[in-house]
Amino acid sequence: MTDVVDYNELLTRYEPALGLETHVELNTNSKMFCGCPTDFGGEPNTHVCPVCLGLPGSLPVINGKAVESAIRIGLALNCQIAEWCRMARKNYFYPDMTKNFQTSQYDEPIAFDGWVDVEVDGETYRVEIERAHMEEDAGKATHVGTSGRIHGADYSLIDYNRAGVPLIEIVTRPIVGAGEKAPQVARAYVAHLRDLLKALGVSDVRMEQGSLRCDANVSIAPIGAEKLGTRTETKNVNSLRSIERAIRYEMMRQAAVLDAGGTVVQETRHFHESDGTTSSGRPKPDAEDYRYFAEPDLMPIAPSREWVEELRATLPEPPAERRRRLQQEWGFSDIDFGGLVNAGALSLVEETVAAGATPASARKWWASDLARRANEAGIELEDLAITPAQVAGVQALVDEGRINDKLARQVIDGVLAGEGEPAEVVEKRGLAVVSDEGALSAAVDEAIAANPDVAERIRGGKVQAAGALIGQVMKAMRGQADAGKVRELILAKLS
Mean pLDDT of all residues in 235-247: 92
At 165, the pLDDT band (50, 70, 90 cuts) reads very high
Which secondary structure element, helix H or strand E, spans residue 16, and what is its range? strand 14-25
Contact status, residue 444 vs residue 469, Cβ threshold 8 Å: yes
**Which residue would you say has higher pLDDT here, 148 or 198?**
198
**Which residue would you say has higher pLDDT here, 232 or 337?**
232
Start-end ranges of CATH 1.10.10 in the chain? 437-494
Q: What pLDDT, in 10s, does the model give residues 86-124?
A: 999 999 888 899 999 999 999 999 999 999 999 888 889
- Other Cβ atoms less than 10 A from the Cβ of 458: the count is 21
Instruction: Write down the pTM of the prediction.
Output: 0.79
d(CA 66, CA 48): 18
437-494: which CATH architecture?
Orthogonal Bundle (1.10)
Please state, rounded to an integer, the average pLDDT across all residues of the chain.
88
pLDDT at 23 over 60: yes
d(CA 179, CA 192): 20
Mean pLDDT of all residues in 379-392: 91
d(CA 486, CA 473): 8
d(CA 88, CA 104): 5
Which secondary structure element, helix H or strand E, spans residue 489, and what is its range? helix 483-494
pLDDT at 1 over 50: no
Which DSSP string do the residues of 257-320 spell out, in sequence order?
HHHTT-----EEEEEETTTTEEEEEEE---GGGG--EE-TTS--B---HHHHHHHHTT----HH
Buried b (16+ CB within 10 A) or exposed e, 340-355: bbbbbbbbbbbbbbeb
Mean pLDDT of all residues in 297-304: 96
